[in-house]
Amino acid sequence: MSTDHVDALVIFGATGDLAKLETFPALVGLVERGVLNVPVVGVAKSGWGLDQFRDYATASLQLNKIDPASPAATTMLGLLRYVDGDLDDPATYQAMSDAMGQAQQALFYLEVPPPLFGRIAEGISTAGRATGSRVMVEKPFGTDLASAQQLNATMQAYFPEDAIYRVDHWLGLDPVDSLMFVRFANSVIEPLLNRNYVQSIQITMAEAFDVADRGSFYDKTGAIRDVVQNHLLQVLATVLAEPPDGTGLDSWRASKSQLIGALRPLTPELAVKGQYDGYLQVAGVDPKSVTETYVAIRLMADSWRWADVPILIRAGKCLPVTATDVTITFRRPPHDAFGLGDQAPINRLRFRVNPEDQVSLSLVGKKPGAGWLPEPEELNFTEHPGQDMRPYDRLIGAALNGERWLFASQDTVEAAWRVVEPVLGDMVPVHPYARGTWGPDQAASLLPAGEAWHAPHSPSVRPVTSGVPARRG
């Protein structure tokens, strides 16, 4: 479906932080690429008029080092409309409808907390604007399985499932797309990604920063809800899912949903939780909190391709670096022809997902000279910096175009909650760990015999700091 079928973009919560940090710069990118040329209606309750709304958008562009006087920025600012009103007032939705003018099929982007989704969807429907339109909603999609199911039922009372675009901004990261591309564009890699050749899979999402001023939010969330149920299970599915079929990328979303559905639900003995020293003193955190700032889990997929392959995921704050890596460890050769023993280097395929795009494959050669001494070498592919489009540029553009493969389906969201729900809350004890370490020592108990956790390594990874990163987590 092309952008001709979407003739307005309506943003609820258009004066919030997400709009300031991500949305307005992304809209400039969409204009530059010729994807956005329809009215953009902002809806919020700020007591503003259109001029103040444009000033806010201009300040956002300056914050993101975009010249507001550039042709694309000037065009974007000219597309803006603004409606100020209470989301509980039907008049707000009528004013929204009036601002849309002759538009018939809009993309509604809900940059608001999930408890407001139902009220907004009802208001859009009552104003006669739901039919034929699309709706983008931000995570979290619930806080557990039951709330996710209720949220889906609420949205589907007003929009069909194929009109709902659930945003996980990690799916807009170019390195995640690159991971999929490397898998399926190289005939020497994809045939090896199965239980016959792969010994184990690890994903590490390390954040060197603490929760900063987000204590109240984070203490109700924790690492599992914040990054594992969504970001990291999506990355895992990108590594493990079956290839797209002849119908193209539309089948990719179904493949990932099937893979996540094949993951066994966790049990408490397959999870280790940690909490960095000093977390209980953070403003907004319960002094008796058992919320995890670190989690490690061990998963198994009940599928023909991946049966019995251990899958390890860990994520945490106040770790030594800020980086996300996927490490695929291959089995040793079936026969030790050169007497190298257990000290022989092992082949590994590594993907850097954040902060930059990098792929490396470790191979083993013979060290020059007498004897049979191994010499490991790494083949590296690194994307040139500064060439990626913004995640929200990619995601909003895909929703405008009706490309659903970059968004999470209802089945995927609910399957992911089924995987993690058994270890939510206080089902697993929380172990303290020092800032700047790799988390509690107990996480090693999840590893297969003879394996260690693989720490992200790169000259560009960021060292330990306090505060939040530039890129949203």
Q: Which residues are catalytic?
A: 231
C-alpha distance across the termini of the chain, in Å? 31
Estimate to the nearest angstrom the gap between the alpha carbon of 149 and the chain centroid: 20
Distance CA 151, CA 141 (A): 7
SS3 135: strand
Question: Omega before 391 cis (within 30°)?
Answer: no
Q: Which residues contact 93 (CB under 8 A, 6 or more apart)?
A: 123, 124, 126, 127, 129
Distance CA 19, CA 15 (A): 6
Distance CA 352, CA 115 (A): 35
Distance CA 381, CA 89 (A): 54
SS3 280: helix
Q: Where are the alpha helices (DSSP H) in 332-390?
A: none
Residue type (1 letter), 26: A
Distance CA 19, CA 415 (A): 30
168 with 392: CB under 8 angstroms?
Answer: no
Q: Where are the alpha helices (DSSP H) in 173-249?
A: 174-185, 215-219, 222-223, 233-240
Residue (of 180, 328, 330) closest to 242 by Cα position: 180
Distance CA 98, CA 92 (A): 10
Residue 20 DSSP class: I
Distance CA 417, CA 261 (A): 10
Q: Other C-beta atoms within 10 Å of 390: how many?
A: 22
308 with 283: CB under 8 angstroms?
Answer: no
Go through the chain and tell me how many residues it has. 473
**H or E segment to which residue 199 belongs:** strand 198-206
